[in-house]
Amino acid sequence: MNDTAPAARAAIVYESMFGSTRRVAEAVADGLRPFASVTLIKVKDAPEAFPEADLLLVGAPTHVHSLSRPSTRVEAAKWGDDPARRLTLEPDAEGIGVREWLETCGDVPPRFAAFDTRADMTEIFSGSAAVAIDKRLRRLGSHRLLAKHSFLVDKDSALEAGQLDDAREWGRTIGAALRATAAV
């Protein structure tokens, strides 16, 4: 690669309750940066349109088999209030979630990739927030660049070992796929 700034522009919108999804989003951004200019955006600060972005990545924690709802975010906040759980709630975690934000989106970039954090068990039992993200973005007219990706957390919502390395590698894979589509 040369030392010039990447021409592609990517936005990563994420929702995080206890920090795991935020950390994944940051690691994905690290992997993607050699290929694109990357902007990380908390869902509460996300715009409804991305007229200048070439790629939109959206990530969220899996709550009750899908995207969080106001009621599941309230429940997660109660977990954060329980000292026995030793969880720290992210600032603004109880605010708007990806589900509500996607309902307001209009102009989305031509390509997207979806990710989530979910329990370390078979997806049929845990569900996947990324499935709902994928469906909504395709409905809005964006095209999937890569298949969704799940990053695993343990029963205490902490990322499993190796997940941040996996996220950086996924970011590099996304970057390579984005570069390949730009070359066509």
pLDDT for the residue 120: 83
Evaluate if residue 184 carries a pLDDT over 70: no
Evaluate if residue 2 carries a pLDDT over 60: no
pLDDT for the residue 108: 92
Evaluate if residue 145 carries a pLDDT over 90: yes
Does 161 reside within a domain?
yes
Q: Which residue has the higher pLDDT, 48 or 73?
A: 48
CB 42 within 8 A of CB 74: no
Tell me the percentage of the chain whose pLDDT exceeds 90: 62
Domain span at residue 103 reads 8-183
Does 135 reside within a domain?
yes
What is the 3-state composition of the chain as percent helix, strand, coil, each rounded to the nearest 5?
A: 40, 25, 35
**Number of domains comprising the chain:** 1
Helix (H) or strand (E) holding 120: none
Give CA torsion, residues 11, 27, 68, 74, to 10 deg: -120
Give CA–CA dist 8/50, Å, rounded: 13
Looking up residue 75, the CATH number of its domain turns out to be 3.40.50.360
Give the DSSP letter of residue 83.
Answer: G
Does 93 reside within a domain?
yes
Give CA–CA dist 26/92, Å, rounded: 18
Evaluate if residue 176 carries a pLDDT over 50: yes
Q: Work out the mean pLDDT of the chain and round it to a whole number.
A: 90
Does 60 reside within a domain?
yes
Does 37 reside within a domain?
yes
Phi and psi at residue 134, to the nearest 5°: -55, -50
Map tokens 């970011």 to a residue.
171
CB 80 within 8 A of CB 89: yes
Evaluate if residue 164 carries a pLDDT over 90: yes
Position 167, amino acid: A
Does 3 reside within a domain?
no
pLDDT for the residue 43: 95
Does 1 reside within a domain?
no
Give DSSP secondary structure letters for 14-63: E--SSSHHHHHHHHHHHHHTTTEEEEEEEGGG--S--TT-SEEEEEEE-B
Evaluate if residue 85 carries a pLDDT over 90: no
Does 2 reside within a domain?
no
Q: Which residue has the higher pLDDT, 162 or 81?
A: 162
Q: What is the mean pLDDT of residues 67-95?
A: 79
